[in-house]
Amino acid sequence: MEKNETNNNHIENQQLEKDGVDEIKSYEYYEKELERVMTELEDGNLDTLDKLIENFEYGTKMIEKCEQILKKAELRIHKISKKD
């Protein structure tokens, strides 16, 4: 791995950590959180508009986290494929 590439990965990892993304928790953790939030939203058990909006916002953040992790995985796979 080139030095610039290593530095970019380090910066990406720092940003993920800053955003509260623990790569060990990974995609599966955030996907389950999203499913939980979606169930709460669909069940209609949220008694206030504020709770509904909070859950919607949290679900949106979970989608963003999943997309970040998937994008990083896609880049890794692309790099691996180029080596072969």
Phi, psi of 75 (to 5 degrees): -65, -40
Contact 69, 27 (CB under 8 A): yes
Residue 8 counted as domain residue? no
What range defines the domain where residue 71 resides?
A: 24-83
Between CA 39 and CA 24 the distance in angstroms is 25
- Tell me how many domains the chain contains: 1
* pLDDT tens track for 29-62: 999 999 999 999 898 888 899 999 999 999 999 9
Residue 9 counted as domain residue? no
Percent of the chain scored above 90 by pLDDT?
A: 54
Indicate the pTM of the whole model.
0.64
Between CA 50 and CA 39 the distance in angstroms is 17
Residue 56 counted as domain residue? yes
Written as one letter, the residue type at 48 is T
